[in-house]
Amino acid sequence: MARFILSFRDKAVGGAVTGGKLIFGSMDELRQKPGITFITHGYNVDANDGISRLRQLAVRLTSQQNSAIVSILWPGDGWMGGLAYPFKGKTANDAARNLARFIVTHKLHEKELNFISHSLGGRVVMETIKALPHHVQINQVCLMAAALDDTCLALKTQYKEELSRVRRVAVLASKWDKVLAGAYPLGDLTHYFQDFANRPGLALGWHGPRPKDPPSVHYVQIDEVEPDAKADHGHYVPDSTAPAFVQQKQHAAARFADEVVSGKPQPQYDL
């Protein structure tokens, strides 16, 4: 397994979206890999925490031994902390456009591509796919605790058309997610006034897609398969400093993501 870090940040905390630079691993080595799995963090994660958490996730993607795993860093944080969320939708979009440009410039779209995201990183992933040339096909996409509208996979104004270019989108959701239950609808209302194409709604990562069975989507509601999990927003990406009971849930989410990108027919969430 070859691991890489691709940064779209100009500062360790906050800052602007840059054009993208490999800060770990070489482009020559990346081009030699037959497939690439891009993994990205969500909102309010600084550069150092992003590197640490995504590296821990990469280690658990054991099915990707012959592929490259590229950690995507983007400035979804800032000095305002949690208060900045309503303004980070545009930042995610800018990072996505630059990631798509990076992929095409270096002809990485000619390889088998997978994406794994957490929280607002789901917007980075889906906007990247939207920005790629229409002939580019994507293998697997895993959206964990996605800070996206629950109808985004069904609406033409959002990502319905992108589904035809993705072999499968897997959604992992939890109604115990307090961030998506409370903060997301308020923040999404602000996004609506900034971008009228995206109407406000409930979160995809809270109760899954609406309608429930869009084509090419595998949906797992953690509350239904593991009622005692009570998975909160931070219970998805591995963190070695978290309490043991939290790490157990993080590792279950990482296994789910690995099963998704491996192409397993029915990825499961098992504690």
Q: What is the pLDDT of residue 18?
A: 97
Phi then psi for residue 157, to 5 deg, are -70, -15
Nearest by Cα to 222 from 155, 264, 172: 172
Q: At what angle do helices 184-194 and 88-105 cross, to 10 degrees?
A: 70
Q: What is the pLDDT of residue 83?
A: 43
Domain boundaries, the chain: 2-262
Calpha distance 182→147 (Å, rounded): 12
Q: What is the pLDDT of residue 186?
A: 54
Tens digit of pLDDT for each residue in 215-261?
A: 889 999 999 999 999 999 999 999 999 999 999 999 999 999 999 99
CA geometry: angle at 47 spanning 30 and 237, to 5°? 80
Greatest C-alpha distance within the chain: 46
pTM of the model: 0.92
Categorize the per-residue pLDDT at 182 as very low, low, confident or very high, splitting at 50, 70 and 90: confident
Q: What is the pLDDT of residue 115?
A: 98
Structure tokens at 22: 């490999």
For residues 57-70, one letter each, b for 16 or more C-beta atoms within 10 angstroms of the residue's C-beta and e for the rest, the string is bbebbebbeebbbb
Nearest by Cα to 102 from 141, 74, 142: 74
Range 2-262 classified under CATH 3.40.50.1820: yes
Structure tokens at 229: 């999990």
Tens digit of pLDDT for each residue in 109-163?
A: 999 999 999 999 999 999 999 999 999 999 999 999 999 999 999 999 899 999 9
Collect all residues with Cβ–Cβ distance below 8 Å to 191 and sequence separation of at least 6: 86, 89, 198, 200
Phi then psi for residue 116, to 5 deg, are -130, 135
Calpha distance 29→77 (Å, rounded): 30
Q: Is the CB of residue 146 less than 8 Å from the CB of residue 117?
A: yes
Structure tokens at 128: 């990247």
Name the DSSP class of 118.
E
- Of 35-44, 95-104, 205-214, the poorest mean pLDDT is in 205-214
Kindly report the average pLDDT of the chain as a whole number: 90
